[in-house]
């Protein structure tokens, strides 16, 4: 099972958005007037292949990001332990925190953290862990599986024009769902964020299609 912390609503929403944009751009290239079964089949294979490839790429980038973040954390930890002056070590700790949180903390709050880091003899292990690989698998599945509902109408409907409309409708519903999840997670209106996500996805997909993406 992929750890929940790697699949929080922000990650899910962004990965689904990415996968949907890719497949919507490809399915939009179907000529609904002259498309035959062979043309639709080729487009479906292209959609599957494209999201399969980008799912792998996104998963690898996820691993690289985790590796770089962990390596940076260990480097900063060593620097904190090697710096005897609190006034120099505390900014290093603050730099690892989210910007909004770091702005709220001063020396009185950061100093106990510095002392705890110095007093703890254990040093976290660098490199990639099992959780990282499982998180990368989750990223891959999100990108690739988001393809399937969108291309399903072309597999079960003989009318390419109608299938394209249903496919686009499914894509918009999925975008809304991803936005809803993101909105609830961030404490905002699920409806508002869902509609915004639909608009962003539609605009980005249209832009990519016009630019030849």
> Distance (Å, rounded) from C-alpha 32 to C-alpha 154?
11
In a domain, 94, yes or no: no
Q: Let me know if residue 112 belongs to a domain.
A: no
If you search the block for the tokens 């922000």, which residue do you land on? 10
Start-to-end C-alpha separation, the chain: 34
The CB density around residue 192, as the number of other CB atoms within 10 Å, is: 12
**Are the beta carbons of 114 and 86 closer than 8 angstroms?**
yes
- The pTM (predicted TM-score) of the whole model is 0.75
Does residue 16 fall inside a structural domain? yes
Q: Which domain holds residue 12?
A: 8-67+129-210
Location of structure tokens 């487009």: 43
Contact 12, 20 (CB under 8 A): no
Q: Is residue 111 part of a domain?
A: no
Model pLDDT, residue 143: 86
Query: What is the pLDDT, as a whole number, of residue 8?
Result: 65
Cα separation, 111 vs 105, whole angstroms: 10
- So what's the pLDDT on residue 3? 42
Mean pLDDT by 10 residues, the chain (213 residues): 53 79 77 56 80 89 88 86 87 85 86 86 76 88 87 82 84 87 82 87 74 58
- 194, part of any domain: yes
Contact between 142 and 52 under an 8 Å Cβ cutoff? The reply is no
Q: Which residue has the tokens 């709220």?
A: 104
Report the pLDDT value the prediction gives residue 7, as an integer from 0 to 100.
Answer: 57
Domains identified in the chain, total number:
1
- The answer as to whether 80 is a domain residue is no
Tell me if 162 is assigned to some domain. Answer: yes
CA distance 154 to 206: 20
The pLDDT score that the predictor gives to residue 60 is 93
Q: Is residue 108 part of a domain?
A: no
């Amino acid at each position: 099972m992929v750890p929940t912390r790697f699949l929080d609503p922000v990650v899910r929403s962004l990965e689904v958005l990415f996968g949907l944009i890719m497949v919507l751009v490809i399915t939009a290239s179907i000529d609904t007037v002259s498309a035959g079964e062979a043309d639709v089949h080729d487009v479906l294979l292209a959609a599957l292949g494209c999201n399969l490839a980008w799912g792998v790429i996104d998963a690898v980038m996820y691993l690289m990001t985790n590796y770089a973040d962990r390596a940076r954390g260990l480097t900063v930890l060593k620097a904190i332990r090697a710096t005897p002056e609190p006034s120099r070590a505390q900014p290093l700790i603050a730099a690892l925190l989210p910007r909004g949180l770091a702005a709220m903390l001063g020396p009185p709050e950061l100093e106990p953290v510095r002392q705890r880091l110095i007093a703890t003899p254990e040093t976290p292990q660098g490199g990639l862990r099992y959780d990282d690989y499982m998180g990368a698998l989750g990223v891959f599945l999100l990108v690739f599986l988001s393809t399937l509902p969108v291309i399903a109408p072309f597999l079960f409907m003989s009318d390419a024009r109608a299938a394209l409309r249903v496919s686009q409708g499914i894509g918009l519903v999925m975008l809304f769902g991803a936005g809803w999840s993101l909105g609830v997670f961030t404490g905002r209106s699920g409806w508002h964020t869902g509609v915004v996500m639909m608009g962003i996805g539609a605009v980005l997909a249209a832009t990519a299609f016009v630019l030849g993406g």
